[in-house]
């Protein structure tokens, strides 16, 4: 092969390569200042600039403003020192649209090693970038409101390298009574409100650093370097204002408000992991929000030391109570129900006790709501019921004839589907006759349950009696209760306490009305002889309280009963 043919073959090859390159890639050649000297057709096509416009312009003609100055500084440093640079760049076309290119820039060097021109080859990766964006959107943004979600928060925290001494303020907010909006207007309306709330919050965004939809109707706002309470309050007031404007959804005007919990913390130690520092601040703001809610909503609350202590205890209780049943930490005490006529034990009320190694003895007032929240009141309630029925049966088998055992029933149990069936099974299993068992249901429970008649009648049909606990605190009318199969009402302790400060009128009224309706009337929380004799004079049937005894173990009830019998025998 002679030189000429060799050359023409090489030329042909180069032409082919050029053709293929022009088909597939955006090619540009610039001088060492970035001024375009050559651009292929694809470049014109992508950038929507004519060849005339491109030649002589700087490569920055397609700059989108998306990348930081440091990004380009680093690129120029690489190619300026004679190295090849590779990267992904977002460019802007003449018509304002954006496109992404995968770029390789090759510097051509003079003898002194300095570049005199750059050849850049780019490929269109706009489609891939769009997919990536969609995936990112799905992973980091809430689909309903398009606000960042918890994943985005983690990303934001990682990016925000906080310095020691810097502070962060977290506002935790929740829409007041959002459940009732959903219940009354439907979930679609609820969603529209959430969307609108997100928009309104974004309108205040200049005052925030970051905002997240935590889930449900909860939003979290982060403010950096705002340690002045006055400044924080300006933001809080702005948010409240936004929430207080009514929403117009499908022609309906819906009013809302928000409760905001605020926590401000300063990073004091660089050893502390940033994520857990911010998570702790969020938890504190959440706690404060809960307190704002407790104050009736439409308010804000700053986090305090006492709130944190309360929350710590709550977490500990929550952790420990889960194992209490399995580890036999529960026990039952019995509180005598005394006949006011002859001071004899008519019955006993079973009261649950929890003794835990870390927490000591915990009041049911504190742990029962947690059991209810965890749904554990169902198995625990069953355990109480079974233990009490067994105990009653054993008393009766041993000649201790206590007329009735009262068991407190939580609204969660009362509402559960299997409740009546469980009672039935336990009675069968233990062999206790239903007439010896009484269920105490608070007046509040009766009022808060849609159709209490159904369950109450089923219990009555089993032969179990019903007692209304804490009577007088729920503002129910006796005429309403009259329709229900109720046997006993227990006048709440607060009214008995008031007897000492001339509160007789209410007590007298409850007793006489209760008796007219043929209820067995019990007075709870009798602590002194005056109260006991006053109630006896009013012909109240039974009393319960520390005046006679504190709640005691089963064997002490046996002893009390035996003493009572022998005293009768002596007489
Ligand atoms: P409750 O059913 O109204 O029980 C009466 C509470 O008042 C008991 O407190 C009892 O010890 C207390 N008490 C009775 N007489 C006096 C008195 O003269 N002075 C004072 N200061 N207190 C008196 P306890 O045992 O702490 O129970 C509190 C509440 O916890 C109960 O109120 C009941 O609502 C709930 N509870 C207790 N055991 C159970 C249970 O097994 N299941 C459910 N669901 N709730 C329970
Ligand atoms: Mg009770
Ligand atoms: Mg009570």
Distance 176 CA to ligand 3 centre (A): 30
Q: Which of 350, 351, 384, 407 for mutating ligand 1's site (highest number of atoms within 8 Å of CB)?
A: 351
d(CA 513, CA 518): 9
The number of the ligand nearest the C-alpha atom of 492 reads 3
- Burial label for 150, CB within 10 Å (0-12, 13-18, 19+), is middle
Distance CA 485, CA 555 (A): 33
CA distance 558 to 547: 19
Protein residue with least CA distance to atom 12, ligand 1: 525
Quick: pLDDT tens for 15-38.
999 889 988 999 999 999 999 999
Instruction: Considering every ligand atom shown, identify the ligand nearest to the alpha carbon of residue 472 and give its number.
Output: 3
Pocket test for ligand 1, best of 364, 413, 419, 530 (most atoms within 8 A of CB): 364
pLDDT at 570: 43
Average pLDDT over residues 88-114: 95
Q: Which residue has the tokens 């306490």?
A: 497
Q: Whose CA is nearest to atom 4 of ligand 1?
A: 351
- Going from the C-alpha of 246 to that of each of 186, 196, 242, 253, 254, the distances in angstroms are 17, 11, 9, 6, 6
Kindly report the protein residue whose alpha carbon is nearest to atom 22 of ligand 1: 525
Distance CA 91, CA 62 (A): 5
Pocket of ligand 1 (CB under 6 A): 335, 351-352, 363-365, 368, 381, 384, 408-410, 440, 469-470, 524-527, 544-546, 551
Q: Which of 213, 552, 206 is nearest to 350 (CA)?
A: 552
Query: How far is ligand 3, taken at its centre, from the CA of residue 359, in Å?
Result: 25
Q: What is the mean pLDDT of the chain?
A: 91
- Confirm if 466 and 441 have CB atoms less than 8 A apart: yes
Render pLDDT for 138-185 as a digit per residue (tens, 0 to 9).
889 998 999 999 888 888 888 877 888 888 999 999 999 898 888 888
Length of the chain, please?
571
Residue 203: which pLDDT band, with cuts at 50, 70 and 90?
confident
1 has a pLDDT exceeding 70: no
Task: Give one DSSP letter per residue of 75-139, joined into a string.
Answer: HHHHHHTT--EEEEEEEE-TTS-EEEEEEEEEEEE-TTS-EEEEEEEEEE-HHHHHHHHHHHHHH
Ligand (nearest to CA of 352):
1
**Ligand 1 atom with minimal separation from the 384 CA:** 41
Would you state the pLDDT for residue 30?
96
Q: Sign of dihedral through CA atoms 463, 469, 473, 474?
A: negative
3-state secondary structure of 39: strand
Ligand with the closest atom to the CA of 443: 3
Sign of CA dihedral 235, 236, 237, 241: positive
pLDDT for 411-438, tens place per residue? 999 999 999 999 999 999 999 999 999 9
Per DSSP, 327 falls in state T
Atom 35, ligand 1: which residue's CA is nearest?
364
Give the position, in ligand 1's atom list, of the atom nearest the Cα of 352.
38
Q: What is the pLDDT of residues 267-305, one digit of tens each?
A: 888 777 888 889 999 999 999 999 999 888 899 999 998
Tell me the average pLDDT across 56-69: 94
- DSSP string over 511-555: HHHHHHTT-EEEEE---SHHHHHHHHHTT--EEESTTT---B-HH
Mean pLDDT (whole number) for 446-453: 82
Whole-number Å distance between alpha carbons of 403 and 400:
9
Annotate 50-88 with DSSP letters as a single string.
-HHHHTTSBGGGGB-S-S-HHHHHHHHHHHHTT--EEEE
């Amino acid at each position: 092969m002679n030189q000429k043919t060799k050359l023409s073959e090489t030329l042909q090859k180069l032409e082919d390569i050029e053709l293929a390159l022009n088909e597939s890639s955006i090619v540009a050649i610039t001088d060492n200042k970035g001024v375009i000297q050559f651009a292929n057709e694809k470049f014109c096509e992508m950038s929507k600039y004519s060849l005339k416009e491109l030649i002589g312009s700087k490569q920055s003609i397609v700059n989108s403003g998306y990348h930081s100055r440091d990004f380009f500084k680093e690129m120029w440093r690489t190619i300026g020192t004679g190295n090849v640079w590779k990267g992904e760049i977002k460019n802007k076309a003449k018509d304002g649209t954006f496109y992404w290119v995968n770029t390789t820039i090759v510097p051509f060097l003079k003898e002194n090693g300095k570049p005199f021109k750059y050849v850049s080859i780019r490929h269109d990766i706009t489609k891939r970038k769009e997919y990536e964006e969609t995936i990112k959107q799905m992973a980091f943004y809430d689909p309903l409101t398009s606000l960042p979600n918890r994943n985005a928060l983690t990303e934001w925290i990682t990016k925000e390298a906080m310095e020691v001494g810097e502070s962060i303020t977290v506002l935790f907010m929740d829409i007041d009574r959002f459940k009732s909006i959903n219940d009354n207007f439907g979930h679609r309306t609820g969603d529209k409100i959430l969307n609108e709330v997100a928009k309104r919050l974004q309108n205040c965004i200049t005052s925030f650093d970051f905002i997240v939809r935590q889930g449900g109707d909860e939003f979290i706002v982060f403010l950096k370097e705002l340690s002045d309470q006055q400044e924080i309050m300006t933001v809080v007031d702005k948010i409240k204002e936004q929430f207080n404007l009514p929403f117009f959804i499908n022609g309906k005007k819906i009013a809302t408000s928000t409760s905001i919990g605020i926590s401000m913390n300063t990073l004091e130690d660089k050893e502390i992991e940033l994520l857990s520092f911010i998570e702790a601040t969020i938890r504190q703001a959440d706690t404060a929000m809960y307190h704002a809610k407790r104050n009736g909503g439409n308010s804000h609350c700053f986090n305090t030391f006492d709130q944190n202590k309360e929350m710590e205890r709550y977490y500990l209780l929550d952790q420990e109570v889960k194992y209490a049943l399995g580890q036999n930490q529960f026990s039952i005490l019995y509180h005598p129900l005394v006949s006011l006529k002859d001071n004899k034990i008519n019955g006993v009320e079973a009261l649950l006790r929890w003794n835990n190694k870390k927490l000591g003895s915990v009041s049911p007032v504190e742990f029962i709501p947690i059991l209810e929240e965890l749904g554990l009141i169902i198995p625990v309630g069953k355990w109480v019921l079974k233990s009490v029925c067994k105990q009653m049966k054993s008393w009766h088998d041993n000649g201790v004839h206590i007329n009735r055992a009262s068991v407190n029933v939580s609204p969660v149990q009362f509402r559960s589907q299997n409740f009546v069936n469980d009672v039935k099974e336990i009675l069968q299993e233990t062999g206790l006759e239903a007439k010896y068992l009484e269920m105490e249901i608070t007046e509040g429970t009766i009022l808060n349950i849609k159709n209490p008649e159904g369950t109450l009648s089923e219990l009555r049909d089993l032969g179990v009696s019903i007692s209304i606990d804490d009577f007088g605190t729920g503002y129910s009318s006796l005429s309403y209760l009259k329709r229900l199969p109720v046997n006993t009402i227990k006048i709440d302790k607060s009214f008995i306490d008031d007897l000492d400060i001339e509160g007789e009128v209410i007590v007298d009224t409850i007793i006489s009305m209760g008796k007219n309706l043929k209820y067995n009337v019990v007075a709870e929380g009798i602590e002194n002889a005056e109260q006991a004799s006053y109630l006896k004079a009013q012909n109240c049937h039974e009393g319960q309280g520390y005046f006679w005894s504190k709640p005691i173990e089963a064997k002490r009830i046996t002893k009390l009963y035996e003493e009572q019998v022998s005293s009768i025998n002596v007489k």
